Amino acid sequence: MRTVRSEPVVLFSDDRLGRGTVIIQVECTYYHYCPSKYSWDTATSLHIHLEYTRGMNYLPTIYQNSDIKFRQQASLKEKFDDGYQKCLLRFSIQDELQPLMDLKSSKEYAQVFYDVVQCHHWGWKYPRILHRDISIGNIMVREKDRQKYGVLIDWDLVIWLDERKEGSTSKFRMGTKPYMAHEQHSSDWQGPHRFRHDLESVFYVILLLVSLYSSPTEKVRFPSTGDHRYEKWHEQGGYFSYEKVVMIMHQFNQEELKTWGHEWQATLEEASSEDWELEQLEEN
């Protein structure tokens, strides 16, 4: 256990239902070694950290976590039943990371977003999880050995693929609204959360950055023209397969970005010598 002193707020993200991420810089003032009082099983995401993620540069290193439950929720749940979804306040102490907006160059942004896609694919394929809340506030940067890595944080809404139901996973759609997949905004969509929904969220983070900012720290506003230039991205799910996204993102200005996994390195080598064909869009 650690005693920490609060420092400046690094990020305060607005979100519906009070589920926004707040990131505060802290300084550890005292360390208490008491493993018998400490459990990593309070959150699925933290259990995954212990089991799978040691030494990975594109995931946060969690040192400590705790949950605070709200007693008043019991009466609300009893009154509204399925119309009310319980929540809790979860906080964790992790290694110091940089906000996404601290990056200085276009290539750094390109590498960070590419790292996030590789990280998400790893989570989908090996521990078999989906993040379900990719947003501008949940992408941060680790600097290590003069290399910057994209880090995907806040796995609190993670879902195990093997435990998904064919119906909608929640009456309250998961995610941060501006970055949610177009399909999930429709009341007609009743299927489970899919990996392509998360990939579409990555696209919207990039889209909003390049559309709303003239530089990492300066916002711009465009007049309303009625031009629906992103409409086909909303309507055609075929853009959001891992293969398609990796083939687009592994280069920037005709220069190769870092591909960390041997699997994708082999795939890109194969694709460079043969005609690329998209495989099936969704996992069985």
User: How does pLDDT run across 19-64, given as a tens digit for each residue?
Assistant: 567 778 888 776 665 543 333 333 445 455 545 555 678 888 877 7
Query: What does the alpha-carbon distance between residue 22 and residue 181 come to, in Å, rounded to a whole number?
Result: 23
Q: What pLDDT does 221 receive?
A: 58
Any long-range contacts for 266-272 (C-beta under 8 Å, 24+ apart)? 267/243, 271/247
Which segments of 107-229 are extended strands (E)?
129-130, 139-144, 147-152, 159-160, 213-215, 218-219
| R_g over Cα of the chain | 20
Could you tell me if 140 and 153 are in contact, meaning their C-beta atoms sit under 8 angstroms apart?
A: yes
Q: Which CATH class is domain 95-272?
A: mainly alpha
Any long-range contacts for 66-75 (C-beta under 8 Å, 24+ apart)? 66/42, 66/90, 66/91, 66/92, 67/42, 67/43
Please, what sign has the CA dihedral across residues 121, 127, 130, 134?
negative
Greatest mean pLDDT range, 39-43, 70-74, 78-82, 267-271: 267-271
Q: What is the mean pLDDT of residues 156-166?
A: 78
Query: What does the alpha-carbon distance between residue 153 and residue 139 come to, in Å, rounded to a whole number?
Result: 6
DSSP 3-state assignment of 145? coil
Per-residue exposure over 226-261, b if at least 16 CB sit within 10 Å of its own CB, e if not: eeeeeeeeeeebebbbbbbbbeebbebeeeebebbe
Q: How many residues does the chain have?
A: 284
Per-residue pLDDT band at 284 (split at 50, 70, 90): very low
Give residue 239's identity as a one-letter amino acid code.
Y
Greatest mean pLDDT range, 24-28, 40-44, 196-200, 241-245: 196-200
> Alpha-carbon dihedral of residues 160, 233, 20, 215, nearest 10 degrees?
130
CA 187 from chain centre, in angstroms, equals 24
Query: What does the alpha-carbon distance between residue 25 and residue 9 come to, in Å, rounded to a whole number?
Result: 6
pTM, two decimals, is: 0.74
Per-residue exposure over 101-128, b if at least 16 CB sit within 10 Å of its own CB, e if not: eebeeeebbbbbbbbbbbbbbbbbeebe
Q: What percent of the chain has pLDDT over 90?
A: 23
